[in-house]
Amino acid sequence: MKTVAIYGALGAVVERLLTKGFEEVRSLLPQTQFIAVDTFDPHTQREEIAQRMANLDFPWHPELRYALVEQLVLNGDNSFSLGGTTLVVDGVVVATPTSTHLKIVEDWASRGALVWVDKPITLIGEVPQIRQLAKQHSNIFAVDFFLDSDAMVWFLAHIGEMFNHIGKVAELHGRLIESWPIERELGQRCGETPERDARPASTPI
């Protein structure tokens, strides 16, 4: 059983991972116990924390379900202490505001935990630092999404230039999780808000 700390667990990003098109995430849950790490105060926002965690319905760690980020004390290895509890963390999900990514990644990657970072991985001015971290630690993973055809066309047109900037790319994985006819996209750009067709599909890059 692996232990994963989710920074920003009570925000919208983590909740989206349980929606249609991400069914494989659910299949991993029985093998994992999670700790929600966020900025909600457990004394003054107890009910809101409980409601959000109930909505996620993750298998929360039996010893520690929720931790206020400011109270965590990171140890020299891949563990942290909170009060009288010390837990080893195998992986960390970073789903917090972009300005906080670099510090969290640096803290946990250097301690040996696997670190998954939500988009965008860091601020533009911090790219050299995150690249240096990635050279030192092979346990950092990042993700990005293309939400419309413009972004995909731009990506394909600049793919060579991008790879020169971000360094070596080992693999690319892509999947179309939503069928979005061109008529609907044009309608959206004209100010219409049609219902989304959420039928999942898959396509390789």
List the CATH code of the domain at 2-144: 3.40.50.720
Which amino acid, one-letter code, is at 118?
A: D
pLDDT (0 to 100) of residue 203 = 38
Rounded distance, CA 93 to CA 105, Å?
9
Taking each helix axis from N to C end, the angle separating 127-136 and 101-109, rounded to the nearest 10 degrees, works out to 10
pTM: 0.69
pLDDT (0 to 100) of residue 20 = 56
Give the residue among 102, 85, 98 at the shortest CA–CA distance from 3: 85
**Contact 71/64 with Cβ under 8 angstroms?**
no
Taking each helix axis from N to C end, the angle separating 149-157 and 159-166, rounded to the nearest 10 degrees, works out to 70
Phi/psi at 174 (5° precision): -140, 155
Q: Outline which parts of the chain fall under CATH 3.40.50.720.
A: 2-144
Mean pLDDT by 10 residues, the chain (205 residues): 92 72 69 92 94 88 94 94 93 92 94 90 86 90 60 66 68 60 48 43 39
